[in-house]
Amino acid sequence: MSINKEQDFGTPVSTSSQLVTLEIDGFKVTVPEGTSIMRAAASIGIDIPKLCATDSIEPFGSCRLCVVQIEGGRGMPASCTTPAAEGLKVVTQNQKLAEVRRGVMELYISDHPLDCLTCSANGDCELQDMAGAVGLREVRYNPIETHLDAVKDESNPYFSFDPSKCIVCSRCVRACEETQGTFALTIDGRGFDSKVSPSQNQSFMDSECVSCGACVQACPTATLMEKSVIDHGQPEHAIITTCAYCGVGCSFRAEMKGEQVIRMVPNKNGQANHGHSCVKGRFAFGYATHKDRMTKPMIRPTIKDAWQEVSWEVAINHAASKLRRIQAKYGKDAIGGITSSRCTNEEVYIMQKLIRAGFGNNNVDTCARVCHSPTGYGLKQTFGESSGTQDFDSVMKADVIMVIGANPTDGHPVFGSQMKKRLRQGAKLIVIDPREIDLVKNSPHVQADHHLKLRPGTNVALVNAIGHVIVTEKLMDEAFVKERCDVASFTKWETFIAQEHNSPEATESVTGVPAAELRAAARLYATGNNGAIYYGLGVTEHSQGSTMVIGIANIAMATGNLGRDGVGVNPLRGQNNVQGSCDMGSFPHEFPGYRHVSDPDTHQLFEAAWHAELSNEPGLRIPNMFDAAMDKNFMGLYCEGEDIAQSDPDIQHVHAALRAMECVIVQDIFLNETAKFAHVFLPGASFLEKNGTFTNAERRISPVRKVMSPLAGYQDWEVTQLLSNAMGYPMNYSHPSEIMAEIASLTPTFAGVSYEKIDELGSIQWPCYDEASVGTPIMHEDSFMRDNGKGLFMLTEYVPTIERSSRKFPLLLTTGRILSQYNVGAQTRRTENNAWHAEDRLEIHPHDAEDRGVKMDDWVGIKSRAGETVLRATITDRVQPGVVYTTFHFPESGANVITTDNSDWATNCPEYKVTAVQISKVNQPSEWQEKYRAFSETQLDLLEQGINNS
């Protein structure tokens, strides 16, 4: 089978609206002005030989293989760097051109190992292709000096660098600069000595390289090559699917050999990523076939017993009868389920359907509870729809970019690269974050104009101060407010926000941000033309998370930064399908499409469609489930794809609640932390083993396609369907497309969505109201989605969190992410990504470290009002004095042992971002860590015993 390669047009597309017509080899062609002759030729099927050009980066004109002749013109210009112009007559093939090209190729080949047959790129090498294309038959040169014995760099775990095969075309260098924006590569030396060099002649691993793979993708030879291709040979076929890691939702070609993934290549036509990727989606897919994958259903009477492997039928019937028995004993509402933002839309939809219609209650919640639930609440209240307003490409039109509580280069790397590109083009940057994220000044050619380094927990005071400047300095877009917003609500907000206690001067002592700096930033946002806000969990995971989202919406409306390209309010979603899992009705108070369960029309609609009596009472949220479990009112849980025993706050309480339940059913690909408390384990399928869709942070519904058979035999939606049938609520879908058809029939914003349309368009951004619609890249263009079409201003009084630093707990701990690991780390920890980040560390400012006698790499105990854990210290001034920071990717780190149970007033989203702590030097793990280790080892023994006994 041959792999269907994507066409390479040689140079990037021109977006000019002006057209020019020229003639190439006698054929007329019309292209946008600024298109290269090479691209114009490729568009009519004439492939001019090339080596140093590729359509993902700007042309460079170094190899001279692409020369052409132009009637009336002098010499032989390179077609990659010569723009098409009106009336040109171009010849791409004749004797003279052929001789020049052969000469060029002869030179390249004379310094190239002639091992094509055994080369890993054999069949996928542009140098080889070009030798054939120009008809090279002999190499007359026999150079005295060559690069053939240059030493390989194997330091990167995923790709190798073999300089003996390098033709110094600099495609890798340009890809690293233009596409990724890391500038890790240079061409070092001159003439014969010139060579590709990572940073200062370092190995790839020691350089600034972030292993995004853009250079590997761009390399026309086997110089930069995926190790998986070297090990397993060239792939045979490719299937387009969507990355299962973050909310960017990159599109990939899964390049396969039979059922084995050989490599994941970012899809050039991917509308979210335009052919770019990060280290996770590009390389960290090995977890899907890791030896820890669970492939057999298992049951056990209690969590002290060994697991017993059983058939699917036994496991499902056992789970169903246990749940039914609990309902009989404790009441209908004593069971519920938790869905995950890692699951597909279709899986989430039928899970909540099972709970609402099959369990007969609304006890369904999702992990978005602990991340973006305040976004849902805040944006729904103000704009009428709980989603981001823009597509990612909108950032390329932004003039001022405000990043609040987000770290795009680590958390959303492909979008981070796009944002950096826009910043290098000159857009201004305001960063609001307690910590110095890379965008502030650690990204080449990017620097924040203002870094408002606020104290954790003071977001609302800060956004109010920005609002105060906008109102009192008359920086509003009055016409926008008058036409597009609820004027009465604006008037109230204007009066409130103008009050002195909201001024930058009054809030300075609270936020720690100098008033003058804040005023300058507010002016820049309000007056810098297109102002776009991007925010993350640093906004939502606070006791006033929803208030802050509303505060952001207020300033965007006041300045008219909504409803067009280049502006907007954009939550950067953490996990791949946070948006989708919320859309699909996985909150206890809402049916799919964010309609309240008590709304009579909606209630009736779903009762009729699902043929079931549904409750119109909102069900339990995740924290309420835990509390109810401790009170013996919630005794059975079905948890799919979510690891609450690691990811939720105040973890000791969560563990106690799980121990208190009579039946915990976990459906996952690994025996995760929650499964250690489970009685039934249902093996899940990775994203490579199932069909469905994910919805990314820009509301883009993209296809997830099965590229290999499910290791455990079933896709996850099939498992939920089996459980539903066993519970007595019949479901008989034969494909997820049927589930999507049902979603579309019941959800107005999805009415025009279908698998056929997704196949045809590649993806669709909801709202998509009917068959004719191709979706909505930018929301609220003419009116807001609220009933009266007007944006609503709301008052945002700053209420300090009750979590304060004190003499006993003088430092504030805040948390974040790192590029190479993902969320609880269940996937990335089972890949070579550990080479970059093998443990969670505590970042501490040099002054705070010195005060406590803590040195780099020391073990430090971190004690909060909730608990204690131990991590190693990294001393850095990226954090400000008084603030410490950690990631939470490793269960043994116990970051959530110390987080408190404070939560957002509106949505219960936990306050992960502010915990008062004390730090001290220690030399042993915390008591919790010792206990956790022992418990974890016991659970792994019980698993081992079960496997050995079956």
Give contact residues for ligand FES (rule: CB under 6 A). 50-53, 61-66, 78, 80
Match 């790709």 to its residue by tokens.
159
**Minimum distance from CB of 79 to ligand FES (Å)?**
6
Among ligand SF4, ligand FES, none, the one that 481 touches (CB under a kind-dependent 5 to 8 A) is: none
**Minimum distance from CB of 105 to ligand FES (Å)?**
12
**Minimum distance from CB of 217 to ligand SF4 (Å)?**
8
Closer residue to ligand FES in complex, CB, 64/603: 64
Q: Interface residues for ligand SF4 in 192-221 (CB under 6 A)?
A: 196, 209-215, 218-221
Q: Interface residues for ligand SF4 in 245-264 (CB under 6 A)?
A: 245-246, 248-250
**Minimum distance from CB of 461 to ligand SF4 (Å)?**
32
373: left (phi over 0), alpha (psi -120 to 50) or beta: alpha
Closer residue to ligand FES in complex, CB, 52/701: 52
Task: Kindly report the backbone phi and psi dihedral angles of residue 340, in degrees, each rounded to the nearest multiple of 5, phi listed first.
Answer: -135, 150
Residues in Cβ contact with 760 at an 8 Å cutoff, skipping those fewer than 6 apart: none
CA atoms within 13 A on the CB side of 817: 27
Among ligand SF4, ligand FES, none, the one that 714 touches (CB under a kind-dependent 5 to 8 A) is: none
**Minimum distance from CB of 284 to ligand SF4 (Å)?**
8
**CB-based contact 503:518 (threshold 8 Å):** no
549 touches ligand SF4 by CB under 6 A: no
Cα–Cα distance, 698 to 572 (Å, whole number): 9
Closer residue to ligand FES in complex, CB, 67/549: 67
Among ligand SF4, ligand FES, none, the one that 215 touches (CB under a kind-dependent 5 to 8 A) is: ligand SF4
Cα–Cα distance, 434 to 613 (Å, whole number): 49
| Total binding residues toward ligand SF4, as defined by CB under 6 A | 41
Segment (H or E) for 22: strand 19-24
**Minimum distance from CB of 102 to ligand FES (Å)?**
15
Among ligand FES, ligand SF4, none, the one that 63 touches (CB under a kind-dependent 5 to 8 A) is: ligand FES
**Residue 299 tokens, joined:** 């049951």
Q: Tell me the pairing of strands 89-91 and 69-70.
A: antiparallel
Strands (E), 524-597: 531-535, 569-571, 590-591, 595-596
Q: Tell me the pairing of strands 531-535 and 400-404.
A: parallel
Helices of type H across 57-141: 95-110, 126-133
Q: Using CB under 6 A, which of the segments 165-173, 467-475, 848-856, 866-874 binds ligand SF4?
A: 165-173
Instruction: Return the residue of 63, 88, 109, 184 that touches ligand SF4, per CB under 6 A.
Output: 184
Cα 174 → chain centroid: 24
**Minimum distance from CB of 50 to ligand FES (Å)?**
3
Residues in Cβ contact with 86 at an 8 Å cutoff, skipping those fewer than 6 apart: 20, 21, 22
751 touches ligand SF4 by CB under 6 A: no
**CB-based contact 907:373 (threshold 8 Å):** yes
**Minimum distance from CB of 827 to ligand SF4 (Å)?**
10
Cα–Cα distance, 187 to 199 (Å, whole number): 10
| Nearest position to ligand SF4, beta carbon | 281
**CB-based contact 86:20 (threshold 8 Å):** yes
Closer residue to ligand SF4 in complex, CB, 698/868: 698
Among ligand FES, ligand SF4, none, the one that 175 touches (CB under a kind-dependent 5 to 8 A) is: ligand SF4
Match 């991340």 to its residue by tokens.
371
**Minimum distance from CB of 59 to ligand FES (Å)?**
6
Cα–Cα distance, 326 to 662 (Å, whole number): 8
Closer residue to ligand SF4 in complex, CB, 67/278: 278
Among ligand SF4, ligand FES, none, the one that 422 touches (CB under a kind-dependent 5 to 8 A) is: none
Helix (DSSP H) and strand (DSSP E) numbers for the chain? 31, 34
Instruction: Return the residue of 68, 175, 485, 794 that touches ligand SF4, per CB under 6 A.
Output: 175
Among ligand FES, ligand SF4, none, the one that 246 touches (CB under a kind-dependent 5 to 8 A) is: ligand SF4
**Minimum distance from CB of 250 to ligand SF4 (Å)?**
3
Closer residue to ligand SF4 in complex, CB, 297/571: 571
166 touches ligand SF4 by CB under 6 A: yes
**Minimum distance from CB of 221 to ligand SF4 (Å)?**
5
Cα–Cα distance, 329 to 332 (Å, whole number): 9
Site string for ligand SF4, 386-415 (x = CB under 6 A): --------------------------xxx-
**Minimum distance from CB of 82 to ligand FES (Å)?**
9
**Minimum distance from CB of 45 to ligand SF4 (Å)?**
26
Cα–Cα distance, 913 to 267 (Å, whole number): 35
Q: Bridge-partner residues for 814, per DSSP? A: 885
Among ligand FES, ligand SF4, none, the one that 846 touches (CB under a kind-dependent 5 to 8 A) is: none
> How many CB atoms are closer than 10 A to CB 77?
18
**Residue 848 tokens, joined:** 């705070």
Residues in Cβ contact with 382 at an 8 Å cutoff, skipping those fewer than 6 apart: 550, 553, 554, 557, 791, 792, 793, 794
Among ligand SF4, ligand FES, none, the one that 160 touches (CB under a kind-dependent 5 to 8 A) is: none
Picking from 580, 579, 481, 568, the residue whose alpha carbon sits closest to that of residue 525 is 568
Maximum distance among all Cα pairs of the chain, rounded to whole angstroms: 92
Among ligand SF4, ligand FES, none, the one that 413 touches (CB under a kind-dependent 5 to 8 A) is: ligand SF4
In the chain, the N- to C-terminal Cα span, in Å, equals: 40
Q: Tell me the pairing of strands 764-765 and 700-704.
A: antiparallel
532 touches ligand SF4 by CB under 6 A: no
602 touches ligand SF4 by CB under 6 A: no
Closer residue to ligand SF4 in complex, CB, 644/819: 819
Among ligand FES, ligand SF4, none, the one that 209 touches (CB under a kind-dependent 5 to 8 A) is: ligand SF4
**Minimum distance from CB of 705 to ligand SF4 (Å)?**
15
**Minimum distance from CB of 238 to ligand SF4 (Å)?**
16
Among ligand FES, ligand SF4, none, the one that 167 touches (CB under a kind-dependent 5 to 8 A) is: ligand SF4
Which amino acid does the sequence have at 350?
I
**CB-based contact 469:523 (threshold 8 Å):** yes
**Minimum distance from CB of 104 to ligand FES (Å)?**
9
Cα–Cα distance, 61 to 68 (Å, whole number): 12
**Residue 84 tokens, joined:** 């098409």
Q: Tell me the pairing of strands 185-188 and 195-198.
A: antiparallel
Closer residue to ligand FES in complex, CB, 52/432: 52
**Residue 139 tokens, joined:** 């190499």
The dihedral formed by the CA atoms of 715, 718, 719 and 721, expressed in degrees to the nearest 10: 160
Which amino acid does the sequence have at 913?
K
Among ligand SF4, ligand FES, none, the one that 61 touches (CB under a kind-dependent 5 to 8 A) is: ligand FES
Closer residue to ligand SF4 in complex, CB, 211/915: 211
Q: Bridge-partner residues for 403, per DSSP? A: 431, 534
**Minimum distance from CB of 7 to ligand SF4 (Å)?**
19
Among ligand FES, ligand SF4, none, the one that 51 touches (CB under a kind-dependent 5 to 8 A) is: ligand FES
Question: What are the residues binding ligand SF4 (CB under 6 A)?
Answer: 166-172, 175-176, 180, 182, 184-185, 196, 209-215, 218-221, 223-224, 243, 245-246, 248-250, 273, 277-278, 280-281, 412-414
